[in-house]
Structure 1
Amino acid sequence: MRELNLQFYFDIDLDDDNRIRHVFWADARSRVAWDSFADVLCFDTTYLTNKYDMPFAPFIGVNHHGQSILLGCGLLSSEDTDASVWLFESWLCCMSHRPPQGIVTYQCRAIKNVVEVVFPKARCLWHIMKKISENLHGYTQYKDMKRYLKFVVYESTNVDVFMSSWGNFISEYQLCNNVWLNKLFEERARWVPCYLKRFFWADMFTTQRSESMNAFFDGYINSMTCLQQFVHQFDNALQHKAELVCEVDFASLNKVIPCSSQSTIERRFQVEYTHAKFNEVQAEFRGKMNCAVNNFFVDRHTCRFNVMEESFRDGQTNHSN
């Protein structure tokens, strides 16, 4: 593959008996993509382990259409710190030593240590929701607890709201002695979105990006795919992915989504943004119609009012700040 394209990059780590321990590779498209989208990296090795017991380790990013893109991947013979350091250093070398601003990964002390070594200036965001089942499934109210915990984590608009909601969650289910939750709370600045929202995460607050990329590879590779087949099928999957990107690129360049208002701001986004991102902007513009103002107060020095979002669900009108 290197002979076919000089920009194809690979690195192989061998043991003392000249046997493969770890492999990393990235095609030219991945390397070029990092030049434009070097903001946030998502890393997750929990998707697939092949018949050689080598976990599949993809590096995932996001492009200007909001699509998941592959930025290289590896096969590891182990998941210890040394193996992860080797993989991350190989990836960094491949990407011209340009580290990400932030990395989203699963809760793992070894990965945390590796990020601090290889990407010392990058922000690290843990995805802990995969651990809920493992740590809370033994409780009789597990389903309610999981739903409540997700609400606390993702619906807390600021730190004060999170602290209050977390306290209510712990009290409601009498979890003050749960070691896992207590440890999570101590390190809340690493995984609770409201602590990290001042940074740019490209809408990658969880490892859902890795999961969607893993779903993309389904039908091409599986746990029984041998290494030779793996490389071939992997290349086929990437080719299909590239075709999908070309299709949305073409649509964004040659078709126009009409504006939903007379706003010059919306019109500017219409010109500059891809269709996928402009649709998100339009959703925000439509959301302005649902704003209700109350508690208007004026005195000599102050003009204050409270803006609430009005929504209609299950026959009921609801207001939220």
Structure 2
Amino acid sequence: MSKSFNPLVEGEGVENLSSAEKDHPNFIDEERYLQLGKGGGAALCKFLQRMQGMSNGFYSVINFNPDNRLRKYQLFFLGISRAAYKSFWDVVTFDITYLTNRHKIPIVVFMGVNHHGQSIFFGAGLISSQDAYTFVWLFQIFLECMNGQTLSAIVTDQDKAIKSAVAIVFPRIRYRFCLWRIMRKLPEKLGSHAQYTCGLKSVIQNCLYDSQTCDEFEKSWQMLLDIYNLHDNAWLRGLYSEWTYWVPAYLKDIFWARMSITRKSENVNTYFDGFLHSKTTVKDFFDQFDSILRRKIDNEDKADFNSFNSMISCISPSLIKKKFQEMYTIAKFKEVQQEFVGMISCNCS
């Protein structure tokens, strides 16, 4: 506060200022209140009432200031999400896409993946601050909503505040940064390098995806820095200091449901596709939330029906493949078939 106030005093003189120093923290404090926008407050109340009437399992928490003003967060969960969590609790993504993309709606989302490989919604929060205290509060409420059943692994953005909150609330789970998001930053961080399109990009990808052991990765990484003279690159140094949180070779021992290395990492975008965009208001979000959930429920119901009532043929008479065919959903069995096809061209050594 003093750094912002003192220059004003030196330039204008304290007697000419329209505000006192004590007013500046108050202004900053005001800005931290959740901005619901026009009609947002009424839409929020109607939404909570509607959801409570639709499901006895609906769960919502509002954090108020001592003077009963809505501050910082609104978190809501649905009964069907709590039921899904009992089956798919092991890997959760915490997505802050709508905070980082300058959307009007300050939403963070807890997501998972079901037995069809579809994105599933566990819960969401509306927040106006992105500090560790806020994320700790959100994670604690998430656990409370899910009856204290903790997860095995979590995937998040590379964010210091989130990392601190995970360490506090989930100290014993496996934690990783979204690799897909890190790789998306390559053009921004290294695109100006003279050899970016002439080998650098491919070498980075090979270093990450083809290294089967930690030693292989370290050797490839050092070779990358040497060949392209990148030892002084601050972004790469920062990544290297946290490699245990994002390098695949260090994380192979944990099931991640493929949520950290593919476009699945953008599941919040695909989940809300067609409903949310950069100009969506809080009011619009609450008005459309029922439709968002209904579409996803219908998609899962259709996938369940198809898996129970039809079967795709095996591409070979393998007995073990027939067992997969009986036990797996159609979407997962297709993935098994792809692995078998890839295996045909492999030479064992």
Q: How does 1:191-270 map to 2 (within 5 A)?
A: 191-206=246-261, 208-270=263-325
**How far did residue 255 of structure 1 move?**
0.2
> Structure 2 counterpart of 1:161, which letter?
E
> Structure 2 counterpart of 1:6, which letter?
N
Shift in alpha-carbon separation, 1:52–1:60, aligned structure 2, 3 A: closer
> Structure 2 counterpart of 1:44, which letter?
D
**How far did residue 20 of structure 1 move?**
3.7
Find the counterpart in structure 2 of residue 177 from structure 1.
232
**How far did residue 158 of structure 1 move?**
2.0
Contact 2:105 2:281 in 1 (8 A): no
TM-score of the superposed pair, with normalisation by structure 2: 0.78
Find the counterpart in structure 2 of residue 309 from structure 1.
none
Name whichever of 71-80 and 145-154 sits farther off: 145-154
The equivalent position to 2:60 in structure 1, one of 10, 18, 24, is 10
- Total equivalences in the alignment: 294
CA distance in 2: counterparts of 1:108 and 1:52, whole angstroms? 18
CA distance in 2: counterparts of 1:105 and 1:216, whole angstroms? 17
> Structure 2 counterpart of 1:119, which letter?
F
Q: Deviations over 1:108-153 (max 9, x none)?
A: 1111110011111111111232443443344344445344322321
**How far did residue 59 of structure 1 move?**
0.8
SS of the residue aligned with 1:279?
helix
Correspondence 1:158 to 2:213: yes
Name whichever of 158-167 and 86-95 sits farther off: 158-167
SS of the residue aligned with 2:176?
strand
Shift in alpha-carbon separation, 1:5–1:250, aligned structure 2, 3 A: same
The equivalent position to 1:92 in structure 2, one of 106, 123, 143, is 143
Contact 1:53 1:77 in 2 (8 A): no
Name whichever of 247-256 and 15-24 sits farther off: 15-24
Correspondence 1:76 to 2:132: no
Shift in alpha-carbon separation, 1:78–1:206, aligned structure 2, 3 A: farther
**How far did residue 242 of structure 1 move?**
0.7
Identical columns (%)? 42
**How far did residue 275 of structure 1 move?**
0.6
Query: What is the RMSD computed on CA atoms of the aligned residues?
Result: 2.2
CA distance in 2: counterparts of 1:251 and 1:52, whole angstroms? 36
Shift in alpha-carbon separation, 1:106–1:134, aligned structure 2, 3 A: farther
Contact 2:258 2:264 in 1 (8 A): no
Find the counterpart in structure 2 of residue 297 from structure 1.
none
Find the counterpart in structure 2 of residue 113 from structure 1.
164
SS of the residue aligned with 1:13?
strand
**How far did residue 238 of structure 1 move?**
1.2
Name whichever of 122-131 and 54-63 sits farther off: 122-131
Q: Deviations over 1:254-285 (max 9, x none)?
A: 00112222222111111110011111111222
SS of the residue aligned with 1:66?
coil
CA distance in 2: counterparts of 1:64 and 1:153, whole angstroms? 28
Q: Which has the larger radius of gyration?
A: 2
Higher relative contact order (CA 8 A, sep 6+): 2
Q: Normalized per residue, which structure has more strand?
A: 1
**How far did residue 247 of structure 1 move?**
0.7
CA distance in 2: counterparts of 1:137 and 1:74, whole angstroms? 35
Shift in alpha-carbon separation, 1:225–1:285, aligned structure 2, 3 A: closer
> Structure 2 counterpart of 1:181, which letter?
L
Q: How does 1:263-302 map to 2 (within 5 A)?
A: 263-293=318-348
> Structure 2 counterpart of 1:235, which letter?
D
Runs ≥4 residues deviating over 4 A: 48-54
CA distance in 1: counterparts of 2:257 and 2:319, whole angstroms? 25
- Name structure 2 gaps, 5 residues minimum: 1-50
> Structure 2 counterpart of 1:261, which letter?
S
> Structure 1 counterpart of 2:151, which letter?
P
Contact 1:104 1:125 in 2 (8 A): yes
Q: Deviations over 1:279-314 (max 9, x none)?
A: 111122222321235xxxxxxxxxxxx1xxxxxxxx
SS of the residue aligned with 2:73?
strand
The equivalent position to 2:189 in structure 1, one of 132, 135, 150, is 135
Name whichever of 265-274 and 279-288 sits farther off: 279-288
CA distance in 1: counterparts of 2:282 and 2:315, whole angstroms? 51
CA distance in 1: counterparts of 2:153 and 2:173, whole angstroms? 5
SS of the residue aligned with 2:97?
coil
Contact 2:104 2:280 in 1 (8 A): no
CA distance in 1: counterparts of 2:99 and 2:289, whole angstroms? 13
